[in-house]
Structure 1
Amino acid sequence: MFKKPASRRDFIKTVAVTGAALSAPSLWIPRAFSADNTLIIADNGGAIAPALRAAFYDPFEKETGIRITNVAHESEPVTQFKVAVDAGSHIWDLAMVTPDNVQRLTQDKNYIAPLDITDSKDILPGMLTGNWFGFSVWGTVMAYRTDRFKGEAPKGWADYWDTEKFPGRRALYRSPSGTLEMALLADGVAPKDLYPLDIERAMKSMSKIRQSVSVWWSNGAQNTQLLQSGEVDMSDTWNARAIAAIKAGAPVKIDWQGTYSVDGWSIVAGTPKLKQAQAFVRFCMHPDRQAVYSAMTSNGPSNANALQKIEQSKAELLTTYPKNLEGLQRRDEVWWSKNYDAVNERFQEWLLEG
Structure 2
Amino acid sequence: MKRTATLTLTAALLASTAMAEGEVTIASWGGSYQDAQSKALFEPAAEATGIEVKQETYGGMSDVRLQVSTGQVTLDIVASGSGSAARAGAEGLLEELDYDVIDVSNFYPTLKSTYCVGGDVFSTVYAWNTDTYGEDGPQSWADFWDVENFPGSRAYRGSVAGALEPALMADGVPMEEVYEVLSSEEGIERAIDKIRELKPNIEVFWSSGAQHAQLMKDGEVDMTTGWNGRFDNAAKDGAKVAYSFNQALLDYDCFAIPKGAPNKGTAMAFLAEISKPEYQDDLPKYITYGPTNKAAYETGEISAETAATLPSSPENAALQLPISLDWYAEWETVAAEMYQEMLTE
Q: Which residue of 2 aligns with 1:325?
A: 317
What is the TM-score of this pair, normalised by structure 2?
0.78
Cα distance in 1, alignment partners of residues 136 and 41 from structure 2: 43
Cα distance in 1, alignment partners of residues 45 and 18 from structure 2: 14
Matches within 5 A, 1:330-345: 330-345=322-337
Summarize the Cα distance change of 1:296–1:189 in structure 2 as closer, same or farther, 3 Å threshold.
same
Q: 1:339 Cα shift?
A: 3.6
Q: 1:130 Cα shift?
A: 4.3
Q: Secondary structure at the match of 1:249?
A: coil
Q: 1:276 Cα shift?
A: 4.0
How many residue pairs get matched? 323
Cα distance in 1, alignment partners of residues 136 and 39 from structure 2: 41
1:54 aligns with 2:39: yes
**Identity within the alignment, %:** 30
Q: 1:175 Cα shift?
A: 3.0
Equivalent position to 2:217, from 228, 231, 249: 228
Contact in 2 for aligned 1:180/1:202 (Cα 8 Å): yes
After superposition, the C-alpha distances for 1:171-219 in whole angstroms (9 at most, x for unaligned) are 3223333222111011121222222511132133224333333443343
Matches within 5 A, 1:113-262: 113-117=96-100, 119-150=103-134, 152-196=136-180, 197=182, 198-256=187-245, 257-262=247-252
Q: Which residue of 1 aligns with 2:8?
A: none
Cα distance in 1, alignment partners of residues 322 and 283 from structure 2: 21
Summarize the Cα distance change of 1:148–1:312 in structure 2 as closer, same or farther, 3 Å threshold.
farther
After superposition, the C-alpha distances for 1:16-44 in whole angstroms (9 at most, x for unaligned) are xxxxxxxxxxx99432866xx21313321
Summarize the Cα distance change of 1:147–1:314 in structure 2 as closer, same or farther, 3 Å threshold.
farther
Gaps of 5+ in 2: 1-12
1:31 aligns with 2:17: yes
Summarize the Cα distance change of 1:80–1:297 in structure 2 as closer, same or farther, 3 Å threshold.
farther
Q: Which residue of 2 aligns with 1:300?
A: 290
Q: Secondary structure at the match of 2:253?
A: strand
Compute the RMSD of aligned alpha carbons.
3.3
Q: 1:133 Cα shift?
A: 1.0
Q: Which residue of 2 aligns with 1:78?
A: 64
The residue type paired with residue 302 of structure 1 is T
Summarize the Cα distance change of 1:94–1:174 in structure 2 as closer, same or farther, 3 Å threshold.
closer
Cα distance in 2, alignment partners of residues 109 and 177 from structure 1: 20
Cα distance in 1, alignment partners of residues 339 and 260 from structure 2: 39
Cα distance in 2, alignment partners of residues 349 and 105 from structure 1: 22
The residue type paired with residue 31 of structure 1 is T
Contact in 1 for aligned 2:179/2:324 (Cα 8 Å): yes
Cα distance in 2, alignment partners of residues 142 and 349 from structure 1: 24
Q: Which residue of 2 aligns with 1:68?
A: 53
- Structure with more helix by fraction: 2
What is the TM-score of this pair, normalised by structure 1?
0.76
Q: Secondary structure at the match of 1:141?
A: strand
Cα distance in 2, alignment partners of residues 203 and 268 from structure 1: 32
Summarize the Cα distance change of 1:222–1:124 in structure 2 as closer, same or farther, 3 Å threshold.
same
Q: 1:101 Cα shift?
A: 4.3
Q: 1:143 Cα shift?
A: 0.9
Cα distance in 2, alignment partners of residues 93 and 215 from structure 1: 33
Q: 1:108 Cα shift?
A: 5.9
Cα distance in 2, alignment partners of residues 263 and 209 from structure 1: 28
The residue type paired with residue 78 of structure 2 is A
1:99 aligns with 2:54: no
